[in-house]
Amino acid sequence: MDKREKLKEIIKQDALKFGDFVLASGKRSNYYLNGKMVTLSSKGLILAGELIYDICRELEIDAVGGPTLGADPIIGAVLAVAGLKGKHLDGFIVRKETKDHGTKSLIEGPLEEGDRVLMVEDVVTTAGTWIKAANAVKEHGADIVTMVCLVDRESGAAENLRREGYDFKPLFFKSDFGV
């Protein structure tokens, strides 16, 4: 079984739950994909990190980042994989709000103007939070090459991201899991 298929099985076994749920978007759903069950487990995180690192390498990415909290472990994994392969890659995290002390930064990490960026997230529904974070990265002067999530819930994220001018490449779609 290749890395992608292994990650798909882990998502199916560990992250997919059925019941009555309210999503971050406010929508109700009869299933829930909890990406943290994958990204806060060594077996899932290393596979996600390797798959996303491969995309970074192919696209000649300078920095990988995304909105806190869903992106945080993924960023760390991609950076670790890059380091193990002897490649330099920077990471950054976009806060929900500008901090009110220190540098008062919305973006944490060595993100530079002109950097070629790949943004990550675990599970995306409508991409509202992701778009807000991406807009902050654009305002910072970085070039967002593409946006990669573990699972697209197929609930408007792709359309919303494309409408905003962002390229979107989910590793999986909810329909890949028979949902």
Q: What is the CATH number assigned to the segment(s) 3-174?
A: 3.40.50.2020
Name, in order, each residue with C-beta under 8 angstroms of 86's C-beta and a sequence gap of 6 or more.
none
Specify the pLDDT at position 60.
Answer: 98
Specify the pLDDT at position 101.
Answer: 66
Specify the pLDDT at position 26.
Answer: 80
Question: What is the Cα–Cα distance from 85 to 124, expressed in whole angstroms?
Answer: 29
pTM above 0.85, yes or no: yes
Question: What is the Cα–Cα distance from 51 to 171, expressed in whole angstroms?
Answer: 9
Q: Give, in degrees to the nearest 5, the angle at Cα 155 between 150 and 157.
A: 60
| Cβ atoms of residues 128 and 156 within 8 Å | no
Question: What is the Cα–Cα distance from 94 to 130, expressed in whole angstroms?
Answer: 9
Structural domain spans, the chain: 3-174
Q: Give, in degrees to the nearest 5, the angle at Cα 131 between 127 and 134.
A: 135
Specify the pLDDT at position 102.
Answer: 67
Specify the pLDDT at position 28.
Answer: 87
In terms of C-beta density within 10 A (0-12 exposed, 13-18 middle, 19 or more buried), how is residue 79 classed?
buried
Question: What is the Cα–Cα distance from 7 to 134, expressed in whole angstroms?
Answer: 26
Specify the pLDDT at position 97.
Answer: 85
Give the phi and the psi of residue 114 in degrees, each rounded to 5. 90, -10
pLDDT in tens for each of the 179 residues of the chain? Answer: 899 999 999 999 999 999 999 877 787 889 999 999 999 999 999 999 999 999 999 999 999 999 999 999 999 999 999 999 999 999 999 998 876 766 678 999 999 999 999 999 999 999 999 999 999 999 999 999 999 999 999 999 999 999 999 999 999 999 999 99
